[in-house]
Structure 1
Amino acid sequence: MPKMKTKRAAAKRFKTTGTGKLMKMKAYKSHILNKKSTKRKRNLRKATEVDATNAKMMKRILPYSK
């Protein structure tokens, strides 16, 4: 059986933690920042865990992540 290919777009957007959870950066941080509060922008900096409903599909398109 041939090697499975990783979806490169997903590999650039998601990182795997040591325990195998997928992390992603939050959206809405690229432009139109002057109407967003400082607190909101600060919270958008942090990475967050991928929702459990999507994690199974993400594991399929990232076969070699832990």
Structure 2
Amino acid sequence: MNEESRITTRAIREAKGRRKIVCLTAYDFATARLVDEAGVDIILVGDSLAMTVLGYESTLPVGMAEML
């Protein structure tokens, strides 16, 4: 998705009650790129990748660098 077509927080607020927005979680760069290319409105980056992808017992060992 190019910069001109990125959704803004204002557009999200204006969509309330008018249209559905799509939000997906991306656990790594490759997934984030695919989700972005698909035109998903919001990409959620979460520390849950520590447990769901990396196998840690909690989310504490993972920092922003691993999530991006």
With normalisation by structure 1, the TM-score equals: 0.22
Q: Which has the larger radius of gyration?
A: 1
Q: Which has the higher contact order (CA 8 A, sep 6+)?
A: 1
Which one has the bigger strand percentage?
A: 1
With normalisation by structure 2, the TM-score equals: 0.22
Which one has the bigger helix percentage?
A: 2
